[in-house]
Amino acid sequence: MRFDILTLFPELFAPLLASGVTRRAYESRQVEVVFWNPRDFAEGNYRRVDDRPFGGGPGMVMMAEPLSACLDAALAARAAPAPVVLFSPIGETLRHAAVETWAAGEGAVLVCGRYEGIDQRFIDARVTHQISLGDFVLSGGEIAAMALLDAVTRLQPGVLGDQASHVQDSFNPALDGLLDCPHYTRPEHWNGQAVPAPLMSGHHVQIERWRRDQRLAISAARRPELVEAARAAGRLTKADLATLQKKL
């Protein structure tokens, strides 16, 4: 899997690539990351990549020509077609199902915008996918690119210490798309609070029922649409429905 990243600030990615469990994937090139700076493809002594917007207004706009030349170089280096992703407020909100789809692919070219925006002609001509992290605005696309990169990398085989770890993640189909349950570790008593008794019982069926009930209760309280989606898909058992009824 390979990600080519178009960014004016490749140095922002250094901590991500050198830290945590995902580091192994980048060091071994199981997930290869290649950076391309649009400024290297700009013309003139000042290597300008932005200019004032037509029609006036605040801020600057990234120019289409340096971005397009940079993208041409990145695609040529891949020697095969690839999705071109722009992180944008109008994009589809990134969710677990989409992360799984990207994780099963061969990577993409990620375009990190800056300033007030990108010349729309570049977007219309070259971008194939747009992704949003949510209803807020960042200074640039780098943080969004890191989020996608990390989410996709941790799903690659062998990246996590326990391959089953991500199966228990919130939103995972293995949990019927629900939020995960609370987790506890040593000591058994801390700050006047004890670990819930079912987790100390050693009874695996009881433990799993407690965890399922917690997932249902938390999802119903915090993200009720997740419960409704699971209900509509027929993924809730009679015991699940009884748990939800008690919480109402």
Question: If 0-12 CB within 10 Å is exposed, 13-18 middle and 19+ buried, where does residue 67 land?
Answer: buried
Place of tokens 């407690």: 210
Q: Is 169 a catalytic residue?
A: yes
- Given 116, 180, 223, 235, which residue is catalytic? 116
- Given 65, 100, 169, 180, which residue is catalytic? 169
Phi/psi of residue 109, nearest 5 degrees: -100, 125
Write the DSSP string, 177-216: TPPPPP---S-SEETTEE--HHHHS--HHHHHHHHHHHHH
Place of tokens 């009874």: 203
153 with 159: CB under 8 angstroms?
A: yes
Q: Is 225 a catalytic residue?
A: no
- Return the CA Rg of the chain: 23
Place of tokens 């977007």: 123
Q: Please report, for residues 81, 129, 159, the alpha-carbon distance to residue 107 in angstroms, rounded to integers and kept in the order given.
A: 10, 13, 16
What stretches of the chain show up as alpha helix (H) in DSSP?
Answer: 14-18, 23-27, 64-78, 96-103, 120-126, 142-153, 197-200, 204-222, 224-232, 238-247
- Given 27, 43, 72, 89, which residue is catalytic? 89
Q: Is 78 a catalytic residue?
A: no
- Given 50, 114, 126, 154, which residue is catalytic? 154
Which residues are catalytic, by number?
89, 116, 154, 169
